[in-house]
């Protein structure tokens, strides 16, 4: 097993200096003004209580470059001090969606919150400890933008975020029918000091099966571990991930491999993998890559994003083995959380002992007849019987 790189320690937070001068809220709408926020964006993300790679400047900026719909417009709320320095940011946009039932609606949503390669943990960017003072002022953006949208759809807002109560209160104040539309479980592991300590959390039968598969992979298939971007070039790693992920979807291409999404992730990986902000643990048999995991590291936490494996190794549950190597790798990195992100899959329940919740918030413009019509039609459709639609589980027992 290769020696892992030194642990990635969280960047120390800079103490927030309260400014007694008046604060101003403006809405960034142009590409030029958006790019000018680069100077402050990640410095503010570093101070947030919530940890999310999906709030990083690279993710947001590349998403806007590659994935936005043609009619999308920036509507980024920025709270500034008297010198014009950003103190907090509401990463928002105005856009339509491809869904037939919503296509006529103008949505106010998180930047990177809809469509291809959307973010999984999105929020307002406010320094920790300052949410009580700054977030209500930042939430005035909803009042300023109300007449430019039919509906608000804020997807995957962490329920535990200190911003969440203020955002919900602002939606209730300025819009109609503000509600939690969906609540997604994001299962995660609180990482112990060693793999052996993690194993002990599971039954002896679980440990025995996994150990037998590991031994069979090593001794019968010349199995070994590797790290994308280290043992393979970044481009080779991406090519292998693409090939292996495609094997999981024989009946069609997953959203991860659509042309737009894949182009975005290639650009993101080339930017983040050199400093291991994005990582790709892999398994190889006789030198050929047979499984790969792709995820992000953010201030001591790992976010498991996508994976793929060779179907010829399904007898060994090679998908489980690459998860095992990935968890071991994150432990060796000294990380504290391994988050498998939302998705109601059985394998996540088996690996994770804890959950934190992500909310999809929705609200409607009381002055929009389109929003009223949409809400009435949706209520009527929900009265019709619907059959079960179980999710595709990429890991089989």
pLDDT > 90: percent of the chain = 80
Q: Is 192-335 CATH 3.40.50.1220?
A: no
DSSP 312: G
pLDDT of residue 353 exceeding 60, the answer is yes
Contacts of 320 (CB under 8 A, 6+ apart): 210, 213, 347, 395
Sign of CA dihedral 134, 135, 141, 142: negative
CB 112 within 8 A of CB 119: yes
The structure tokens listed for 311 are: 């179907």
pLDDT value of residue 12: 38
Helix (H) or strand (E) holding 206: helix 204-220
**In the chain, pLDDT over 70 holds for what percent of residues?**
88
Residue pair 313/151 in contact by the 8 Å Cβ criterion: no
Residue 144, strand partner residues: none
Contact (CB, 8 A) for 66 and 260: yes
Cβ atoms within 10 Å of 271's Cβ, excluding its own: 16
Rg (CA), the chain: 22
Q: pLDDT-based confidence at 248, cuts 50/70/90? A: confident
- What integer is the mean pLDDT of 330-359? 95
Q: How many residues does the chain have?
A: 397
Q: Which two tokens stand for residue 379?
A: 């209520």
Burial 136-173 (b: 16+ CB within 10 A, else e): ebbbebbeebbeebbbbbbbbbbeebbbbebbbebbee
Q: Provide the pLDDT for residue 160.
A: 97
CA distances from 159 to 112, 162, 185, 303, 360 (A): 18, 8, 10, 17, 10
Q: Which residues contact 20 (CB under 8 A, 6 or more apart)?
A: none
> pLDDT value at position 272?
98
| pLDDT greater than 50 at residue 8 | no
Instruction: Determine if residue 222 is left, alpha or beta; phi over 0 gives left, psi from -120 to 50 gives alpha, anything else beta.
Output: left
Which residue, 220, 199, 204, 142, is CA-closest to 327?
A: 199
- Helix axis angle for 259-272 and 234-247, nearest 10°, is 140
pLDDT digits (tens, 9 = 90+) for 113-138: 999 999 999 999 999 999 999 999 99
> Do the domains at 24-185+356-382 and 192-335 have one common CATH topology?
yes
* Tens-place pLDDT, residues 358-377: 999 999 999 887 877 777 77
Domain boundaries, the chain: 24-185+356-382, 192-335
H or E element at residue 213: helix 204-220
What is the CATH number assigned to the segment(s) 24-185+356-382?
3.40.630.30
Does the pLDDT at position 223 exceed 60?
Answer: yes
Average pLDDT over residues 144-160: 96
Q: Residue 136 gets which letter from DSSP?
A: H
Give the phi and the psi of residue 382 in degrees, each rounded to 5: -70, -15
Q: Compute the average pLDDT of residues 81-102.
A: 87
Structure tokens at 359: 């909310």
Q: Are strands 86-90 and 92-95 parallel, antiparallel or unpaired?
A: unpaired
Residue 152 belongs to what H/E stretch?
strand 151-158
């Amino acid at each position: 097993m290769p020696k892992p790189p030194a642990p990635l320690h969280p960047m120390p937070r800079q103490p927030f200096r309260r400014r007694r001068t008046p604060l101003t809220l403006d809405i960034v709408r142009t590409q030029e003004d958006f790019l000018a926020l680069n100077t402050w964006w990640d410095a503010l993300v570093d101070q947030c209580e919530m940890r999310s790679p999906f709030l990083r400047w690279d993710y947001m900026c590349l998403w806007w470059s590659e994935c936005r719909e043609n009619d999308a417009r920036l509507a980024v709320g920025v709270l500034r001090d008297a010198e014009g320095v950003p103190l907090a940011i509401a990463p928002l946009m105005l856009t339509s969606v491809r869904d037939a039932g919503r296509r006529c609606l103008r949505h106010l949503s998180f930047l990177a919150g809809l469509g291809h390669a959307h973010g999984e943990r999105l929020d307002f960017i406010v320094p920790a400890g300052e949410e009580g003072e700054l977030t209500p002022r930042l939430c005035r953006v909803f009042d300023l933008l109300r007449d430019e949208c039919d509906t608000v759809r804020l997807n995957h807002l962490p329920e535990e975020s200190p911003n969440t109560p203020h955002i919900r209160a602002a939606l209730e104040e300025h819009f109609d029918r503000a509600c939690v539309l969906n609540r997604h479980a994001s299962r995660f592991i609180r990482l112990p000091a060693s793999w052996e300590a993690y194993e002990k959390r599971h039954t002896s039968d679980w440990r025995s099966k996994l150990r037998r598969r590991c031994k069979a992979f090593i001794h019968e298939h010349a199995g070994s571990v590797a790290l994308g971007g280290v043992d393979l070039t970044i481009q080779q790693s991406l090519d292998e991930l693409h090939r292996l992920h495609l094997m999981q979807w024989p009946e069609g291409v997953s959203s991860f491999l659509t042309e737009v999404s894949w182009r975005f992730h290639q650009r993101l990986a080339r930017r983040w993998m050199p400093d291991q902000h994005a990582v790709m643990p892999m398994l190889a048999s006789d030198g050929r890559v047979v499984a790969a995991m792709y995820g992000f590291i953010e201030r001591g936490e790992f976010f498991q994003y996508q994976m793929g494996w060779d179907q010829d190794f399904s007898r060994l549950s090679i998908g489980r083995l690459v998860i095992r190597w990935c968890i071991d790798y994150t432990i060796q990195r000294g990380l504290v959380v391994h988050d498998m992100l939302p998705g109601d899959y059985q394998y996540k329940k088996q690996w994770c002992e804890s959950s934190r919740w992500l909310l999809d918030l929705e609200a409607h413009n009381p002055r929009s007849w389109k929003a009223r019509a949409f809400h009435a039609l949706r209520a009527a459709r929900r009265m019709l019987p619907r059959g079960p639609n179980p999710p595709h589980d990429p890991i089989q027992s």
